[in-house]
């Protein structure tokens, strides 16, 4: 008899015997969890690679390398370049184009250079920010989806009591259990997504600050070249 009770209250049996709305809630939460984990690992490698490439490029840049050689190296490795390298490439390309024109005002040259770097900066930040909104959505919505399954399971449990003359724990336990499973799945989907979102948003903010500082420093270097 104990074996029968244990089998009836097993996790797989509770899920398979849950009502259709609760099963749909579980499927939605399971899909959201899988997708969020996919983006979590994808973002992890993307941000780590971006930090590594930025460190390497800044090290080369501040070693005093010739900017023309550095620019040519970035152009040749464009498809494997990091965000900071792309910002440098767009800014230096614009600087060369305007600086070669005779009689061009230094202020106009630098304005064009800054606009080019700013446009590339925005594109790179959009790339780094991609899919973070999905993680934020999963983190904020999943507990409420799980709560809907919880409420529905509890409603089914109390609805079933109307068909019995004497209520016992055996009558309400399956419904309560499936309700708690929905709650647990909602939290399982939400917690990693929230943690990852906060961590990655912090890392991207730090990268954004580094990129903006680099744009200002590069502008100063190029302005000295233009007036030198």
pLDDT in tens, 53-73: 999 999 998 887 788 899 999
pLDDT in tens, 143-185: 999 998 888 878 877 776 666 666 566 666 666 777 788 888 9
CA 128 – CA 97 distance, rounded (Å): 29
Residue 184 phi/psi, 5-degree rounding, is -60, -40
For residue 89, CA distances in Å to 41, 53, 71, 73, 78 come to 29, 14, 6, 10, 9
For residue 22, CA distances in Å to 146, 147, 176 come to 9, 10, 12
Residues near 11 by Cβ (< 8 Å), separated by ≥ 6? Answer: 181
pLDDT in tens, 180-221: 888 889 999 999 999 999 999 999 999 999 999 999 999 999
């Amino acid at each position: 008899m104990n074996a029968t009770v244990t089998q009836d209250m097993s996790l797989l049996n509770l899920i398979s015997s849950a009502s259709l709305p609760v099963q749909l809630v579980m499927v939605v939460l399971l899909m959201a969890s899988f997708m969020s984990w996919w983006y979590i690992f994808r973002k992890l490698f993307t941000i780590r690679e971006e930090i590594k490439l930025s460190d390497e490029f800044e090290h080369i840049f501040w070693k005093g390398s010739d900017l023309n050689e550095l620019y040519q190296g970035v152009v040749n490795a464009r498809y494997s370049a990091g965000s900071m390298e792309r910002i440098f490439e767009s800014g230096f390309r614009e600087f060369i184009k305007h600086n070669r024109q005779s009689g061009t005002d230094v202020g106009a040259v630098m304005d064009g250079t800054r606009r080019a770097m700013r446009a590339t900066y925005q594109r790179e930040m959009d790339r780094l920010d991609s899919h973070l909104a999905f993680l934020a959505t999963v983190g904020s919505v999943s507990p409420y989806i799980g709560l809907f399954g919880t409420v529905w399971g509890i409603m089914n449990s109390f609805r079933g009591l109307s068909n019995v003359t004497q209520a016992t724990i055996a009558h309400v336990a399956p419904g309560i259990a499936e309700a708690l499973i929905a709650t647990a799945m909602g939290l399982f989907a939400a917690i990693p997504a929230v943690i990852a979102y906060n961590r990655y948003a912090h890392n991207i903010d730090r990268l954004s600050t580094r990129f903006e500082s680099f744009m200002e420093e590069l502008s100063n270097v190029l302005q000295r070249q233009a007036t030198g």
